[in-house]
Amino acid sequence: MTTTPPRTIRLKLPQPIGRLLARLLTARTVRPGAVILPPAALKVQGPTLLYFKTEACVACEGLDLWVGQLAASAGLKLRVIDARRGEVPLHAYGDDLLLDEGGEVRRAYGIRVFPTLVLTNPSGDIERVVMAVPEDPEAARRAVTAGLGLDSPA
């Protein structure tokens, strides 16, 4: 028995509806200056980049390998919070992965849009937040680098 891989479905909405939907989805997302005590499962011990992603996220695919390089070049710890509902080997992202199957971590940060990147310090102070990343990998990298105030890795 062979199974077909899942298809990505893209919806084109008129711009006013798309903007309204984006505002509604991001209205409760954590903002810079907020303080959220990081859940113990994240093991935050220094400046940390939280990368919220999911399996149906086209823009996430273009960031997956690069975001680790960005975090390393900026001296940040990386934590990948994966909202994946399918099966993924636990070793797929190494020790940086947290499978957020119940959604507790996403809810703590108000994440409803993927990918979302949150730059935080150990005390829970949110320094930067980047959402609504373009699907084009180069444009996504530029948006993330600028949004986080970091230099892009070579």
pLDDT digits (tens, 9 = 90+) for 128-153: 999 878 888 899 999 999 999 987 66
Domain with residue 149: its CATH number is 3.40.30
Residues whose CB is less than 8 angstroms from the CB of residue 15 and which lie 6 or more positions away in sequence, other chains included? none
Structural domain for 118, as ranges: 52-154
Residue 60: per-residue pLDDT: 86
> Within a domain: residue 87?
yes
Average pLDDT over residues 122-127: 84
**pTM (2 d.p.):** 0.78
Mean pLDDT value across the chain:
80
Alpha helices in the chain (DSSP H): 15-26, 58-73, 104-109, 137-148
In total, how many domains does the chain have?
1
CA-CA distance, 36 to 11, in Å (whole number)?
33
> Within a domain: residue 95?
yes
- 3-class secondary-structure state, position 72: helix
Q: For 56-83, how does the pLDDT look when each residue is reduced to its tens digit (9 = 90+)? A: 788 888 888 899 899 999 999 999 998 8
